[in-house]
Structure 1
């Protein structure tokens, strides 16, 4: 829980202090923060092969001991490459990279008429791997 609140304020979500004076608004704000953290947590789990995250971590917290990183996580840190030889990202840099995928409206005029259609930029190898890990098809995203 402490990690979630730390994440809200500084690391990833960067939630600014928001002052609410009505109980319903405070509850709604906390709910939205928790929902955002929950979505981020699931994204990190799915995208772990592309991130500096330990994919082999045991989420069984019965004993409180210092966690040791797996050999694959240490190898990713050392090589800065995944098993597929793709560059490893932080969560933030991977989201920034995915943010460069965009939908373009293309207009062309030919003798037979004017044509307008939408075209999504072709994902890079890293972007395509991330979309595959999230089970998202870049063809049907609009």
Structure 2
């Protein structure tokens, strides 16, 4: 089975550009139209042709995209999942509140990276986050004073 792009003459003037599938049944070659590409721009059709011939669709992904920020997530999800599995959230408080989420974040952050409360607050705030913990708990901006008040 093979795919190719064919230009088929049309009575209306412009030829139809079709994506076709071809296969052999005995001595006969069968064709089936998969898509009509006539309305696509010529550069897109040429891109399809190149891909069907084995070319790479995108040469260098770095030219098209630039990573602006990448937050660590795997170890955060593992520790947070374990803490939730143990029921620590409900031990801290039955209903969800910002204070409970801050306390939970402090526990998880201490397991992941034992830092001061100010450093933990900075790691949780969206602007200076180093992991996805603050986003997973929906904390938003966190101040050092909030982390200190959480202990009271």
TM-score category of the 2 structures, normalised to the smaller one:
under 0.3
- Give the structure with higher Rg (CA): 2
Instruction: Give the TM-score of the pair, scaled to structure 2.
Output: 0.20
Q: TM-score, normalised by structure 1?
A: 0.21
Larger strand fraction of residues: 2
